[in-house]
Amino acid sequence: MQQLDEKIDYLLSIPPYSQAPDERHAALLDLLRDELEYGGERHSGYKNYIEQWPIHYRSSGRVADLPFLPVGVLKGDPPLAFVSPQEIKRTLTSSATTSQQPSRVVLDSPTSRRMTKGVVSIVRDFIGASRRPYLVVDTPGFMGGSTLGARGAAIQGLQPFASETTYCLNVDSQGELILDIDKAIEFARRHRDSEVLVYGFTFILWNQLVKPLVAEGICLNLSNIRILHSGGWKRLQDQAVEKTVFNQELARVFGCRPDRVIDFYGMVESVGVIFPDCTEGNKHAPTFGDVLVRDALTLEPVEVGEKGIVEVCSILPTSFPGNLLLTEDLAQVLAYDGCPCGRRGISFRFAGRVPKSEIRGCGNIQSKRTSVK
Amino acid sequence: MSDMESLTAPHRCLDFHIDSPAEIVEAASRLRQVVLDSEISPIEVMSVFDSWARSLDSRELDEVPGIVFLRMWLRRGTLEPIIARELGPNALDGGWDEYGRSKCRAFPLGVVGHWPAGNVEIQPLLSMTCALLGGNAALVRIPTALVDLTRCLIEKLVQSDRDEVLTRRIFMAAFDHDRRDLQEAMAQAVDGAMIWGGQEAVLQVRALPFPHWARVAVFGPRISVAAMDAGAWGNSDEQESWCRRIARDVWQFDQQACSSPQVLFLEKRQGHSIDEFVRVLRTAFETENQAHPRRTIPGTLTSAIYNARASWLLKDTSHLAIFPKGPDWTLLLGSGPDLPEPVQGKTLTVLEVEDLHDPVLMFDGNVQTLGLGMADPLKEKALTQAAGKRGVDRIVKLGRMHTFVPPWDGVDLIRPMVRMVRHVCSTD
C-alpha cells in the first residue's frame, strides 16, 4: 500500500495538465494495474470480475483495455468497499435527480485526503492558489455528518480556497431555498475590492440567486470574482436557459465579465477529479486521471469529432472500485491533444446523458407477477 | 384521381403519412365498406400471399430480420392447416362446416387495428396477415422506427397484388406513439385489435377508447426459457448442433422478443462438468456474431449489458462469465433454479440445476416459450405437462423458439378476429 500511495502522490504532485498523452498513459496504465490488483485482494467479487475480463489487466497494453465497472454497480447497498466499516470516514451519495437510486461511495482517510488534493490541484490551475472570501449559494445544512451528497461534496471541495465562508441561502417554512438578500449584499459590500470565490449548483444559482436579484434590480458589483458552478443543466431545461444566457445573467448580477463564470462537471463516483470548462469551452483530464469516450457499439475509444459513452479514470480512490468507471454520460472528443488553452491531453465536451429510451419489445418484462413456489 | 395521376401517385398502401384523426376515420370508413361490399375467402388471400412470398425472396431483403419467417408464414403449406384447425375444414373457400343439425362459418369482424411492437421488424405485416386471412380489413399503426422497412416490404405486396384484392383492404398509418389524438381515433374506428409489445406500450394501447363491441387480442410482454437434459447437452456428437440452435434463438430480434430465451437451464450430470458444452456454446455465439453482427445499439442497452456482467460477477465468486470486449454477446454462468432478470442484448444466463422441474415449478405465468433440448422423451413429456400447468404457452425444440405458428401466447391468431356464425336451418 505504501508503494501505491507514493505512486499516487507523485502523479498528484505534477501540474495537472502538463504531461504529453503518451507519458500520461504510461504512468496511468502502470498505476491502474496496481490498483486493480490491490482492489482484487480486498474484494473477492471484484477480483472475480477483473479476472474474467477478456484481456487480463497485467497484459493490457492500453488503459482502454483495463476492466472498467459500469457506474450503476455503485448504487448497491451496502456500497462496494475495499475497506472495513471502521475505516470509512465518510460516505458520498450522488444526486438522485436523474435516477431513482443514488450511488454511494465510501471514503477512508487516504482517499479523502487525495480527493481534496485532486480538486485543489485542478481548481488551482483555473483560478490560482490564493485563499479568498467564499460565497456559497446554498445553506450550511448540507455540510457535516458522515454522509455527504453531491452538493455538499462540491462545496467542501472548494474550501481550501476559502479565507472565510458565507452561505447566502436559507430554508423557508415550506422547505424551499430562498436567498438572504441582505447577507449577499453585505458580503459584496465587505469584499467589493477583494478577489472572491462563489460556488453554487447550476440550477440553484439560477433560481435562487439570479432570478431574485434580477427581479430586485440588484447588482453586487464584485468584479474580481470567480464563479464556479456544477450539477448539470437538466433541471434548467424546462426554463430553456442556454449556457451563454446563464453566463451573461450571472455576470450581470455580480457585475463581472461572463468569462468569470466556470461550469465544471464532477461526479461523486469519480472522487477528486472534476472537469472545469477551459477558456475554449472544452474539458480536460488531469494527470491523475483520464477520460475515454467509447463507441456504444464496440466500446473502443472514438475518433476525434465523434461522440460516445464517457469512461472516467482516476487513480485517487483506494477505498472503493472507482478507478475505471463507465458512466451514463455522452461526450464528443474535440482533440486528443493540443487545445488552444494550452492544457495537454484530451479535450472534450459533454453531450448529455445516454437516452433512457424504453427497450421496446414483447420480451421487455418490467415487473414480475407473484412467484408461486 | 385522373388516370394520369393514378399512374404517377404512390399507391395509397405506401403513403403512411397521417396527421389528423379525420384521415384515420375516413380510411376506416372506406375499409369497412370494402369488407361489406366484397367477401374474400382464405384461399383467395393465400393466393396473393403466395406471390408476395415469392417476391420477398430476393437478395436485397436477406438482411431483414425475420424475413425467412415471413416467407415461410405466407406459404400455402403453412397456412392451410392453420385455417382448417382454427376456422373449420371448409373455411378455406369460405364454406360452412356442419355440426349435427347446425352449420358454422367464420365471418370477418370488419376493420382490425394493429399495434405491433417496435422491435420486431416484420411484426406489422405478420399481425396484418392474421386479420386478412379472416376476411377483415387491416388498419396498421407502423412504429416510427419500422416505417422504411415496412414500406419496402409492402411495396412487394402492391406489386404482387395487381388487382388490389388485398391492398384495398389495407391502410398503413405511421405516427409517433405519443400522438394521443391519432391513437384514440384509430381505436374508436376499429372492430377488433391486435396489440403487441412491451408492458408500457401494451398498457397504453389497451386503455384506448375502443368501441364496446371490439374484440381485443393482446400479445403482451413475456420472457422465454431454454432447457436441456443431461443426455442432450452431454452428448458430444450433438453439442455443436444444439449450440447453433440456441445461438440462433438468441440472435433473432436481438433477444428482445417474447420468444427469445433469456436463460438456459442445464440438468446436472453426475461426474460431468458443463465446461466442454460451454466452450462449444461460446464458439456458436462467436460464429453467429460473425455472421450477424449488430449494426447499431442503443446506449441504454450497452449500459444494461455491462451492468449485468458486473453485477453477476461481483455478486458471487462462484459465478463465471464469458464475453468479448464489446457488448456483442454475453454468457453468464452459475447454478440454481431462480429465473434471472432478463437483460436482452444477447445476454444468456446458463444455470445448472439438479432437476429441470425445479425452475419450471418457479415459473410465474410470465414465461411464454420453453425451448427444449431433450434426449429422454419421458422427461420431456413430464416437463411439458409441468410447464403447461405453470403458464407456459409454447413448448418447442430449441432453434424453433421464434417459429410463428399458432396458437401463439396460448391463443389462436386468426380466430380471435372473426365471428363464428351459427346457422340452424329453419326449413329442416
| Measured CA angle at A18 (ends A16, A22), to 5 deg | 110
Domains, chain A, with CATH or none: 2-74+282-353 (2.30.38.10), 115-265 (3.40.50)
Q: Is residue A1 within 8 angstroms of chain B, CB to CB?
A: no
Per-residue pLDDT, averaged over B173-187, amounts to 94
CA distance A183 to A170: 10
Q: Which of residues 274-303 of B touch A (CB under 8 A)?
A: 294-303
Phi, psi of A301 (to 5 degrees): -60, 140
The minimum CA-CA distance between A52 and chain B, rounded to whole Å, is 7
Closest listed residue to residue B195, CA positions, set B290, B102, B117: B117
Please list every residue in chain A whose beta carbon sits closer than 8 Å to the beta carbon of residue B262.
363
Does the distance separating the beta carbons of A360 and B117 come in below 8 Å? yes
Count of beta carbons in the 10 Å neighbourhood of residue B49: 24
Pairwise CA distance, residues B253 & B70, whole Å: 14
Distance between CA atoms of residues A295 and A305, nearest Å: 12
**A341-360 pLDDT tens trace:** 999 999 999 998 888 654 55
* pLDDT at A368 > cutoff 90: no
The x, y and z cell numbers of residue A361, run together, are 419489445
Q: How many CB atoms lie within 10 A of CB B62?
A: 10
User: Confidence class of residue B5 from pLDDT cuts 50, 70 and 90?
Assistant: very low
Between A363 and B172, residue with greater pLDDT: B172
pLDDT over 80 (residue A1): no
Domain presence at residue B230: yes
The pLDDT, as a whole number, for residue B2 is 46
Averaged confidence pLDDT in chain A: 90
Segment A155-178, tens digit of pLDDT:
988 999 999 999 999 988 888 899
* Facing B223 at nearest CB: one of A54, A65, A365: A365
CATH number assigned to the domain comprising residue B297: 3.40.309.10
Distance in angstroms (rounded) separating the CA atoms of residues A290 and A16: 11
Please give the pLDDT value at position A100.
Answer: 67
More confident position, B5 or B201:
B201
B373 and B291 in a common domain: yes
Question: What pLDDT score was predicted for residue A146?
Answer: 66
- B342 and B383 co-located in one domain: yes
Q: How far is residue A63's CA from residue A293's CA, in Å, rounded to a whole number?
A: 12
Residue matched to cell numbers 406471390? B51
Q: Do B307 and A72 touch (CB under 8 A)?
A: yes
Q: Is B4 on the interface with A (CB under 8 A)?
A: no
User: Is the pLDDT at A120 greater than 50, yes or no?
Assistant: yes
**Rounded CA separation A323/B422 (Å):** 73
Beta bridge partners of B198: none
Mean pLDDT in residue range B329-344: 95
For residue B2, is it within any domain?
no
Residue B69 has pLDDT above 90, yes or no: no
Q: How many CA atoms lie within 13 A of B265 on its CB side?
A: 27
What pLDDT score does A96 carry? 62
Residue A166 region by backbone torsions, left for phi larger than 0, else alpha for psi between -120 and 50, else beta? beta
Instruction: Specify the pLDDT at position A63.
Output: 97
The Cα–Cα gap between B267 and B262 comes to 17
Q: Taking a contact as any Cβ pair under 8 Å apart, which residues of chain B between 97 and 136 contact chain A?
A: 117-120
Same domain, B317 and B230: yes
The grid coordinates listed for A76 are 448497491
Q: What is the pTM of this model?
A: 0.86
Averaged over A62-84, what is the pLDDT? 94
- Same domain as B298, residue B268: yes
Contact list in B for residue A354 (CB cut-off 8 A) is: 299-300, 302-303
Cis ω before B407 (30° cut-off from 0): yes
Q: Per-residue pLDDT for A99 more than 90?
A: no
Window 345-364 of B, Cβ < 8 Å to A: 361-362, 364
Q: Residue B103 falls within a domain, yes or no?
A: yes
B24 and B153 in a single domain? The answer is yes
What is the percent of chain B with per-residue pLDDT over 70, rounded to a whole number? 97
B119/B240 same-domain check: no
Count of positions (residues) in chain A: 373
Task: Say yes or no for a CB contact (<8 Å) between A363 and B262.
Answer: yes
> Quick one: what percent of chain B has pLDDT higher than 90?
79
Q: Mean per-residue pLDDT for B163-172? A: 95
Residues B181 and B215 in one domain: yes
Arithmetic mean of pLDDT, B24-51 = 96
Which residues does A107 contact at the CB level (< 8 Å), separation at least 6?
A88, A89, A90, A91, A92, A115, A271, A317, A319, A320
Residues B20 and B110 in one domain: yes
Q: Best interface-test mutation with B: which of A74, A101, A362, A368 has the largest number of B CBs within 10 A?
A: A362
Say if residue B149 is in the same domain as residue B291: no
Give the per-residue pLDDT at A143: 59
Q: Looking at the structure, do residues B55 and B120 belong to the same domain, yes or no?
A: yes
Same structural domain for residues B342 and B386?
yes
Classified as helix, coil or strand, B75 is: coil
Report how far residue A229's alpha carbon sits from residue A371's, in angstroms, rounded to the nearest whole number. Answer: 48
Check whether residue B203 and residue B240 sit in a common domain: no
User: Across residues B355-375, what is the average pLDDT?
Assistant: 96
Is the residue at B197 inside a domain? yes
**CATH assignment of the domain containing B150:** 3.40.605.10
Contacts of A124 (CB under 8 A, 6+ apart): A161
B259 shares contact with chain A (CB less than 8 Å): yes
Judge whether A363 is closer than 8 Å to chain B, CB to CB.
yes
Structural domain containing residue B264? 223-397
- What interface predicted TM-score (ipTM) does this complex get? 0.90
Query: b vs e for B74-84, b when ≥16 Cβ sit within 10 Å of the residue's Cβ?
Result: beeebbeebbe
φ, ψ for residue B266, nearest 5 deg: -115, 125
Q: How far is CA B399 from CA B234, B275, B346, B372, in A?
A: 18, 22, 15, 9
If one counts the domains in chain B, the total is 2
